[in-house]
Amino acid sequence: MATFPTPVDLVVVGGGINGTGIARDAAGRGLKVLLCEQHDLAQHTSSASSKLVHGGLRYLEQYEFRLVRESLAEREVLLRAAPHIVHPMRFVMPHVPQLRPAWMIRMGLFLYDYLARRDTLPESDSIDLRAAPYHDGLKPGLSKGFIYSDCWVDDARLVIANARAAADLGATVLTRTACVSARSEGALWRVTLQPENAAPLEMSSRALVNVAGPWAKQFLNENINLDTPFGLKLVKGSHIIVPRLYAGKHAFILQNDDRRVVFVYPYEEHYTLIGTTDVEHTGDPGEYSVSEEEIDYLWRRKPLFRPYSHAGRRGLALLRHSPVVR
Ligand SMILES: Cc1cc2nc3c(=O)[nH]c(=O)nc-3n(C[C@H](O)[C@H](O)[C@H](O)COP(=O)(O)OP(=O)(O)OC[C@H]3O[C@@H](n4cnc5c(N)ncnc54)[C@H](O)[C@@H]3O)c2cc1C
């Protein structure tokens, strides 16, 4: 059985965006870090997200001003740190007066523009949906809309970039290596790692971070034998991909009578992505699939768009979907 000779300062369990971000930050502060990922980096939630770097416009309705301000500030940080994979995107919101009055949307967008420092992204505005360039694909009858800025990111690459930077700063990054147990002994954690095709590794660490995503509670209960009064609710989101519904690089954000928002944006060259749903997931975190109800829900958001030549219901392709901890 192989062993690590010295204790490390930090073991990070999980190679998603949280794990790799923590590993990078800790290694940058001079800590000796080991990250283990049971499968591949970004194999789960962190490559199946909606890929938006956003401040959370809809949280303003819940008076979460601090959360939105902090997220907007982080959006600027990411734009500066990774401009090769974080791209500005304009979001068009058709106005539906029965759902939210125009003054409320204008006020929300004003706050969204000015709650945090914004260096390069253009501010929000009112637009005419009957005119180019935003009329394309939309059904006649929609005239007024609003436009604001957020960003799109290649989520899996962001994880890899963080893992790479952590390794460059001295962290050990082990993929296909599960943390199968950890027990606290004095000031140290005794940790057992199980590589996919090799003997177990025993090591010790001064601290351990559980960033196992949807497996976080399972890891706590079954691998470290710790109990917690806090439960975890797993929520699954799904996206659907249809043949391209409109020209242009902008996204649409659609308000719905159930108060949820659904966005629509160009995906690869020839497709449009519509997402996302939000339903509770029970059972194994690693086993999930999109339900017919979720496909129907997303498909019903389409009526704002003109029927597209071959965008039939049968032509749906499903993007990956994944449970996430909320
Ligand atoms: C549908 C959907 C849309 C989303 N859209 C957005 C969005 O637009 N913008 C945004 O910012 N966020 C979005 N999110 C949220 C975001 O994706 C998650 O918050 C984030 O990916 C969580 O990352 P994580 O590292 O915590 O988890 P994960 O990416 O799931 O990583 C956890 C890792 O831990 C590993 N692991 C588990 N157990 C062990 C073990 N015992 N040993 C070793 N490794 C283990 C797993 O294999 C996994 O790779 C979305 C989420 C979903 C589901």
In a domain, 313, yes or no: yes
pLDDT of the residue at 302? 67
Q: What is the mean pLDDT of the chain?
A: 89
Determine which residue's CA is closest to atom 13 belonging to ligand 1. 49
User: Residues near ligand 1 with C-beta < 6 Å?
Assistant: 13-19, 36-39, 43-46, 48-52, 178-179, 211-215, 219, 223, 237, 276, 322, 324
Number of the ligand 1 atom closest to the C-alpha atom of 43: 49
In a domain, 13, yes or no: yes
In a domain, 132, yes or no: yes
> Do 104 and 127 reside in the same domain of the chain?
yes
> Do 144 and 161 reside in the same domain of the chain?
no
In a domain, 229, yes or no: no
> Do 161 and 17 reside in the same domain of the chain?
yes
181, 202, 223 - which closes a domain: 223
- R_g of the chain, CA atoms, integer Å: 22
In a domain, 297, yes or no: yes
> Do 86 and 118 reside in the same domain of the chain?
yes
Number of the ligand 1 atom closest to the C-alpha atom of 236: 53
Number of the ligand 1 atom closest to the C-alpha atom of 179: 42
Cβ proximity of 316 and 257 under 8 Å: no
What is the 157 CA–ligand 1 centroid distance (Å)?
14
> Do 98 and 241 reside in the same domain of the chain?
yes
Determine which residue's CA is closest to atom 14 belonging to ligand 1. 49
Determine which residue's CA is closest to atom 51 belonging to ligand 1. 49
Counting ligand 1 atoms within 8 A of each CB, the residue from 324, 325, 326 with the most, and so the one to mutate, is 324
Query: Regarding beta strands 279-280 and 234-237, do their DSSP bridges make them parallel or antiparallel, or are they unpaired?
Result: antiparallel
- Supply the CATH number for residue 166's domain: 3.50.50.60
In a domain, 109, yes or no: yes
> Do 21 and 169 reside in the same domain of the chain?
yes
> Do 146 and 244 reside in the same domain of the chain?
yes
> Do 118 and 24 reside in the same domain of the chain?
no
Q: How many domains does the chain have?
A: 2
> Do 64 and 209 reside in the same domain of the chain?
no
In tens digits, the chain (326 residues) has pLDDT values of 445 657 999 999 999 999 999 999 999 999 999 999 999 999 999 999 999 999 999 999 999 999 999 999 999 999 999 999 999 999 999 998 888 999 999 999 999 999 999 999 999 999 999 998 898 888 888 899 999 999 999 999 999 999 999 999 999 999 999 999 999 999 999 999 999 999 999 999 999 999 999 999 999 999 999 988 888 899 999 999 988 888 899 999 988 888 788 999 999 889 999 998 889 998 899 888 888 899 888 888 766 666 544 344 433 433 444 444 43
Order of strands across the sheet that contains 322-325: 279-280, 234-237, 322-325
203, 223, 243 - which closes a domain: 223
> Do 122 and 165 reside in the same domain of the chain?
no
Q: What b/e readout covers 196-222, taking b as 16+ CB neighbours within 10 angstroms?
A: eeeeebebbbebbbbbbbbbbbebbee
Counting ligand 1 atoms within 8 A of each CB, the residue from 50, 51, 177 with the most, and so the one to mutate, is 50
> Do 310 and 189 reside in the same domain of the chain?
no
Query: Regarding beta strands 271-275 and 239-243, do their DSSP bridges make them parallel or antiparallel, or are they unpaired?
Result: antiparallel
204, 223, 242 - which closes a domain: 223
Range of the domain at 252: 53-152+234-325
pLDDT of the residue at 47? 95
In a domain, 228, yes or no: no
pLDDT of the residue at 245? 87
| Adjacent-strand bridge partners of 183 | 190
> Do 90 and 166 reside in the same domain of the chain?
no
What is the 76 CA–ligand 1 centroid distance (Å)?
22
pLDDT of the residue at 188? 96
Counting ligand 1 atoms within 8 A of each CB, the residue from 44, 77, 191 with the most, and so the one to mutate, is 44
Q: Alpha-carbon distance 199 to 248, whole Å?
A: 53
- Supply the CATH number for residue 307's domain: 3.30.9.10
Query: Regarding beta strands 52-53 and 239-243, do their DSSP bridges make them parallel or antiparallel, or are they unpaired?
Result: unpaired
What is the 133 CA–ligand 1 centroid distance (Å)?
35
Positive/negative CA dihedral, 254, 318, 151, 75: positive
Determine which residue's CA is closest to atom 41 belonging to ligand 1. 179
Q: Alpha-carbon distance 221 to 219, whole Å?
A: 6
In a domain, 256, yes or no: yes
